[in-house]
A = this chain, B = another copy of it.
Amino acid sequence: MNLLKQKIRTEGIVLSDSVLKVDGFLNHQVDPVLMQEIGEEFASRFAGEGVTKIITLESSGIAPAVMAGLRMGVPVVFARKRKSLTLTDQLYSAGVYSYTKNETNEISVSTDYLSSDDVVLIIDDFLANGQAVLGMLSIVEKAGASLAGIGIVIEKGFQNGGAALKDRGVRVESLAVVDSLENGSVTFHNEEASLK
């Protein structure tokens, strides 16, 4: 996705060798046109897989997931990080450890909105160590649903989440894979550092 890589290059901020801040178009301010293109790209990559439902995690996964759902003609369920008083239903839940926040959150999806008939596409904004996606995978398994694959906006290729998922035989489609953030600059996968 060239538009996405261009945005990362021009607006992404490398805070350290492991932290890429994209608050300008994905994690705080959202660029709706970019989200539309991302949604169309996910729809294209997972066309023909019989996807019936997209699962994402609040909050930054919602915009790309809803754009993909619009294009694919399927509903989107965002897993919640904490329970609401009006969520009176039965829940599928999983624990997700966040290395950046150093805490474990329980994420949940109502049993009303995921069943064994579903074929699920999981979408998330970032893939680093894979904890959030593994939590969503656990929820999909608890529901007895099938998995079409995982769509990631930005994968940190230098962390182990992508490899761990591929080792499980899961299809992972990442629209931009960052191989390094060293020396304050972004190197994408399959690109010479000199092309930065």
Q: Which residues of B contact A74 (CB under 8 A)?
A: 32
- Most chain B CB within 10 A, of A15, A32, A86, A112, is at A32
Contact with B along A17-55 (1 / 0, CB 8 A): 001010111011111110110000000000000000000
Q: Report how many copies the assembly holds.
A: 2
Instruction: Answer whether residue A75 sits at the interface, using C-beta atoms and an 8 A cutoff.
Output: yes
Of the candidate stretches A61-69, A132-140, A142-150, A169-177, the one touching chain B is A61-69
Residue of B nearest to A57 (CB): B59
Q: Is the CB of B77 within 8 A of A29?
A: yes
Determine which of B21, B100, B113 lies in contact with A28 in the assembled complex, contact meaning CB atoms within 8 Å: B113
**Pairs across A and B, CB under 8 Å, 29 listed:** A21-B86, A21-B88, A23-B86, A23-B89, A23-B110, A27-B84, A27-B86, A28-B77, A28-B87, A29-B113, A30-B66, A30-B69, A30-B78, A32-B66, A32-B67, A32-B70, A32-B74, A32-B76, A33-B70, A33-B73, A58-B59, A59-B78, A62-B62, A63-B66, A66-B66, A84-B100, A84-B101, A85-B100, A85-B101
- Top 10 closest A-B pairs, CB basis? A32-B70, A58-B59, A32-B69, A29-B113, A59-B59, A30-B76, A62-B62, A63-B66, A29-B77, A21-B86
